Chain A
Amino acid sequence: AQRVTQPEKLLSVFKGAPVELKCNYSYSGSPELFWYVQYSRQRLQLLLRHISRESIKGFTADLNKGETSFHLKKPFAQEEDSAMYYCAIYGGSQGNLIFGKGTKLSVKP
């Protein structure tokens, strides 16, 4: 079955420290992976897609098919990065997004 696992419910780091939000997936076939973010009192929004290989707000994510992972990384965390982050995979029998349960990132001053 297709599944997305985010092992950390909460991740707390200090401003300027590196941050890595973990995401592991289970999927047969070629996955399309995404990171969505929800800032306080805002709606859920797309942060980045693995196929774009882009860096958004300093965040990057690399698809590692061998480890079935898609970890989100940023070298220097900022306070405004504090938010809820969801890893999601597209596809499977449902033909839509399957989300992980999310990681709450807290960046302390």
Chain B
Amino acid sequence: KAGVTQTPRYLIKTRGQQVTLSCSPISGHRSVSWYQQTPGQGLQFLFEYFSETQRNKGNFPGRFSGRQFSNSRSEMNVSTLELGDSALYLCASSLRPSGGRGEQFFGPGTRLTVL
């Protein structure tokens, strides 16, 4: 099976812009979780979608949002970008809801740089 794919792999934006990142889960996986990884804060959970519904949400401002399509592909959007949003954004898929109760398969990440 093909692994989790994320596009684009790299992005450079300026403050105030918005950005959309995409994630395609492993075939058959219906749960997609998003994480932000920074050197200071490490890996932090953003939100999870299962069957097109947001199941769980981390402690991030409303500028961070997401959605999931009927084919389980997911997008996350960050509006009004701030310098602190520069990070590696990881997507993870799992077979079961609630992030597969911890058993997740990660994508390579999208590196977002905000100037």
Residues of A within 8 A of B (CB): 32, 34, 43-46, 49, 86, 88, 90, 94-102
- Judging by beta carbons under 8 Å apart, are A101 and B58 in contact? no
Contact of A43 among B42, B48, B58, B107 (CB under 8 A): B107
Q: How far is the CA of A46 from the CA of B93 in the complex (A)?
A: 12
Whether A97 contacts B42 in the complex (CB less than 8 A), given A43-B3, A46-B104, comes out as: no
Residues of B within 8 A of A (CB): 3-4, 33, 35, 42-45, 48, 55-59, 90, 92, 98-99, 101-109
Q: How far is the CA of A88 from the CA of B48 in the complex (A)?
A: 16
- Judging by beta carbons under 8 Å apart, are B103 and A44 in contact? no
Whether A95 contacts B99 in the complex (CB less than 8 A), given A100-B42, A101-B42, A102-B42, comes out as: yes
Q: How far is the CA of A1 from the CA of B104 in the complex (A)?
A: 23
Chain A's interface: helix, strand, loop or mixed, by majority? strand
Q: How far is the CA of A75 from the CA of B22 in the complex (A)?
A: 41
- Judging by beta carbons under 8 Å apart, are A95 and B98 in contact? yes
- Judging by beta carbons under 8 Å apart, are A97 and B98 in contact? no
Shortest CB distance A41–B (Å): 10
Contact of B102 among A44, A45, A90, A100 (CB under 8 A): A90
19 pairs, CB–CB < 8 Å, chain A vs chain B: A43-B109, A44-B92, A45-B106, A46-B104, A46-B105, A49-B102, A90-B101, A90-B102, A94-B59, A95-B98, A96-B58, A97-B45, A97-B99, A97-B104, A98-B45, A99-B43, A99-B44, A102-B42, A102-B43
